[in-house]
Amino acid sequence: MTPKAALKDNTSSTATLLDRVHTPADMRAFDEEQLRQLADELRAETISAVSVTGGHLGAGLGVVELTVAIHAVFNTPDDKLIWDVGHQAYPHKILTGRRDRIRTLRMGGGLSGFTKRAESEFDPFGAAHSSTSISAGLGMAVARDLKGEANNVICVIGDGSISAGMAYEAMNNAGALNSNLIVILNDNDMSIAPPVGAMSKYLTKLVSSKPYIGARETAKRITKILPEPFQKAAKRAEETARSALGHGTLFEEMGFYYIGPVDGHDLDALLPILRNLRDTKHDGPILLHAITKKGKGYAPAESAADKMHGVTKFDVVSGTQEKAKLSAPSYTSVFAKELIKHAKIDDRIIGITAAMPGGTGMDAFDAAFPDRMFDVGIAEQHGVTFAAGLAAEGMKPFCAIYSTFLQRAYDQLVHDVAIQNLPVRFAMDRAGLVGADGCTHAGAFDIAYLGCLPNMMLMASSDETELAHMIATAVAYNEGPCAFRYPRGNGFGTIIPDLATPLAIGKGRIVREGTDIAILSYGTRLHECLAAAETLAGKNISVTVADARFAKPLDTQLVNDLVKNHRALITIEEGSALGFGAIVLQHLANAGKLDGKCQIRTLHLPDIFQDQDKPEKQYDEAGLNAAQIVQSILSLK
């Protein structure tokens, strides 16, 4: 479905109050009963929209009431609302003037699947990687203070995102700066039983109220003039009294005023607390702990193991998702199966991922080797140094991390792995463009950011057979760190051996012999290069196609021969500028090979952050499909 076609069916048939909400200002006169009805309609509209577009569902359903309550109470967009990651923000988008486009989610020219500053004034900070909200919110709060303004800043962060170190760095800073900041912990997985009942609701409202906060601050000031033993006794008594209401010790120690836990689906509880926080002047950050249920209100999501976190198009009544017709296995599944084969033989192989076991295929490895699989949570930095420690003790750690997420651990990659030349193996899924997830998840930069590191060995597979051989190569390689990249999606149906064997390090291969033009491919564009060569053969242009396999060490003999024997050399890669093509050019320049008659061109991803679209359209835009490769070669003089 195109964005234009999606606009024709932009509302669900049952909406009534929701039809009256074009911006959050339209809902602020609603009473609490109307807000509960609005939440029900918003949940139904979210389910209806995602059934058409696919995308993230469970997380958004879990914050419907929270979304309604925040926008009903606070004066957004003047009050800044920051959603951590942003994949749960579909209900937020519906309430903030984007309902007419909600069925263009994740399509080319449509709405982003995450928050995006360029898309709406109600998205003050773009997100798609986790654990950034408190840092960004604190920056906005300090900017507000310096400008002498008085708006609120609200950050909503999940219990998974708050497990990452960056969130704690931000909380530590926020507690020290004592700036007015509201953090809402959306807890849908922690094993904390929320207090229930009328008394619990009353007490939670009480501790968020202006009189209570004022009295507590006054008591603190009075306590400070007491002798030290009395100060300690008073502090213990206050903490003991508050401990009955929640589990805020850690957050309190970091300088936050803790409120909760509270039922994140109970508007009777949420609305008065948020109003108290809005109307009460508080010096320092506040953390409201809300217990929510992922997939709330949609039975198929509530009963699904993953709470329908990420879905394809689905039938609303049954929850049954469309299944793609698979002609070949996914690269992710090939990686998992091949690593398991080797791990059965070599008990030093260890699997590591950072909160993405399903996305990286490491859930399969975990099922086979639970004692040798470690999900470190949203903590890529820790995961890389953890792997370095394993490698230092003779183990063979495989860090399965998306290319774009590995960027978060670059310092550890340099200092803890590369400088020490430790044999950590990096399996980089989602290399190249990734379709609907857009630029935040595209693996565009790993060739460039890894290619500049001493001691690093780099590989890219052209199909699933080559991936199998590269996994075997990584298993056998102990001379230092190595990384291999492979794309999202399915392979080409090539034959995978029972047990793949290692490749010769730094050696590429000729796939098609020709005499006029040479194409040197790094990665899965090889098949587009072969299609281009076939087209050019019909135009009496003879093309050699080579698979580099390695970016580092580069097969310099292969490159030299291609330059020597052809009138032009074209490099192709699914990565940014200053990547594989730059490595080839640097070699040719230093070897004096640019001084001859062979024309050199490098084809790579454009120097932009490409928006979401179907992968084939993204590669058309990048100029890396067969037709564009043909045109690039025909344009040579």
Instruction: Characterise 54 by phi-psi region: left (phi > 0), alpha (psi -120 to 50), beta (else).
Output: left
Q: Three-class SS string for 501-541?
A: CCCCCCCCEEEECCCCEEEEEECCCHHHHHHHHHHHHCCCC
C-alpha pair distances (Å), 124 with each of 76, 118, 155, 560: 10, 9, 11, 51
| N-to-C CA span, the chain | 41
Distance CA 565, CA 517 (A): 9
Cα–Cα dist 260/288, whole Å: 6
**Residue 408 a catalytic site member:** yes
Based on the residue annotation, tell me whether 302 is a catalytic residue of this protein: no
Which position among 294, 341, 485, 525 bears the catalytic label?
294
| Long-range contacts, stretch 47-51, CB < 8 angstroms, 24+ apart | 47/298, 47/316, 48/12, 48/316, 49/90, 49/94, 49/102, 49/103, 49/105, 50/90, 50/105, 50/311, 50/314, 51/313, 51/314, 51/315, 51/316
543 contacts 517 by C-beta, under 8 angstroms: yes
232: Cβ contacts below 8 Å, ≥ 6 apart: none
Identify whether 616 is a catalytic site residue.
no
Instruction: Report the C-alpha gap between 358 and 405 in whole angstroms.
Output: 15
Residue among 390, 443, 452 nearest 416 (CA): 390
Strand-pair partners of 397? 350
Distance CA 578, CA 585 (A): 10
| Phi and psi at residue 626, to the nearest 5° | -55, -45
Q: Token pair 């084939």 is at which residue?
A: 616
Max Cα distance, the chain (Å): 95
Tokens encoding 615:
């992968």
Eight-state DSSP code of residue 452: T
CA angle 305, 308, 312 (to 5 degrees): 130
Active-site annotation holder among 41, 380, 466, 573: 380
Q: Which residues pair with 489 in a beta bridge?
A: none
Q: How far apart are CA 287 and CA 171, in angstroms?
A: 10
Active site residues: 294, 380, 408
